[in-house]
Amino acid sequence: MIKILQSGNPVLRKICRPIKPEEIKSAKIKKIIKVMRETLEETPDGVALAAPQIGHNLRIFVVSPKAFQPQGRALETVFINPTLVKRSNKKKIFEEGCLSVSGVYGKIKRSEKVTVEAFDEKGRRFFRGGSGLLAEIYQHEINHLDGVLFTDTATELGTITRKDNKL
Ligand code: ZN
């Protein structure tokens, strides 16, 4: 099993680079996506994973089928070169945890609803909207791609006891 990098590792602080269109279907990117999927599947308390968390400074994240309602999807959804194209002015306080900041949860204010534009593994552009947990995931994962950890702005760190939905 691939190790998930922990806070303090400089890889988590770099700005990740976009994937070139002709690179999306390359063996190298396919392999990285495969490993990301496997790593997330082997991490029962995780619902999403960004490429830098397993050591690649590339703009990719994957979301577990567990995060989608209703749960019908068999595979993780892959987001390549994701951007937030819309975010609600309305904010919500999320109780958040991160696979790269083991055991620590905190409170963080994020938009309640967002829309992401991204490319799938076949290089097709798509848009996906989400609220609640999904909105939280999209904002948290894009933060990872910009070298930002939730602990940079979260409050009440370590005061919340939870074991689920790490991002
Ligand atoms: Zn995280």
pTM for the full predicted model: 0.95
Residue the block writes with tokens 């400089």:
10
* List of residues 6+ apart from 34 with CB closer than 8 A: none
| pLDDT tens figures, 121-159 | 999 999 999 999 999 999 999 999 999 999 999 999 988
Distance 126 CA to ligand 1 centre (A): 23
Catalytic residue among 42, 76, 141, 156: 141
**pLDDT exceeds cutoff 70 at 72:** no
Ion ligand 1 contact residues with beta carbon within 5 A: 98, 167
Rounded to whole angstroms, the Cα distance separating 96 from 101 reads: 11
